[in-house]
Structure 1
Amino acid sequence: METQVKNLFDPALVDDTQTRILLLTAENQPSWGTLNVSQALVHCALGFEMATGALKTKRAPFPATLFGRVIKPFIFRDNKPMRRNSPSAPELFTGNTAGYHFINERSRLLEEMHRFAARGPAGCTHQPHPFFGPLTPEEWAILMYKHIDHHLRQFGA
């Protein structure tokens, strides 16, 4: 029996993920990494913007894209979580963090996640992922779940 790979086109998984996001507080501390909880919320919201094409990203340098294409089949075939301190596109980080407000950033992330899920496959960008290259809509939905799950686990949610 083949296990279905979790993805954010599944309404039940979107609901479960929303519940986990709502468990976060401004006081949550990371188990790893350098982002605080508000920065992680912004980072995840920007990930959804990348997946829909609202945020343009640059391709990673050649050795990284080659490695990305080699490991891509292993990332999208099962429900194994992302590894701690995994690399990310620089566009998913903003330099100005002083203006982040936890409640606003959490609301923004929820809006981006629900917008992504509601648009479904037709709402995914045709632009290649900076590291993995071209992705199908289903691969974008898997990656968006794995990405947000990674950061929710980082903060204990």
Structure 2
Amino acid sequence: MMKHCTRWNDWVLGNGAHSYRQEFLGKLFGKMVLKGMVKDDKPMKKNAPAGIFTIKEQNGDIQDEKKIWLAQMTAYENFSNPEFIHDFFGKMKTEDIGIFVYKHMDHHLRQFNA
């Protein structure tokens, strides 16, 4: 889960080489789904698809991933990635990215009662 979150944050923050493009179904339904997700403070639903960020590795250094994750959360204070296009939601307002990032992190922390 931590590796999923750190790789996902790298994608949103623009760390590394990422190609950003919206999928076809996202072009049809993405904005509608995003609007429903960011309109209130309800947590993300369980079993949301992870897409390209599905991680099946069972090894790694949890302490290193934790340090990376904490640094990434701090990096959101100065978020600036104008190239970011969510693969389903498409181009997002900075405020919507902030809400979505919060809900994504909250979703995974709740998984482990953290």
The alignment's TM-score, normalised by the length of structure 2, stands at 0.84
User: Aligned residue for 2:71?
Assistant: 111
- Does 2:107 correspond to 1:150? yes
Task: Output aligned runs, 1:1-157, within 5 Å.
Answer: 40-55=1-16, 56-57=18-19, 59=21, 61-90=23-52, 92-94=53-55, 97-117=57-77, 119-120=78-79, 123-157=80-114
For 2:60, the aligned partner's letter is Y
Q: Which is greater in Rg?
A: 1
| 1:57–1:150 Cα change, 3 Å | farther
1:33-89 superposed Cα distances (whole Å, 9 cap, x missing partner)? xxxxxxx11111122212222252554541244222221111111111111110123
* Number of residue pairs the alignment of both structures matches: 113
Percentage of pairs with the same residue: 30
The alignment's TM-score, normalised by the length of structure 1, stands at 0.63
Residue segments in structure 1 that go unaligned for 5+ positions in a row? 1-39
| Displacement after TM superposition at 1:128 (Å) | 1.1
d(CA) in 2 for partners of 1:65, 1:151: 26
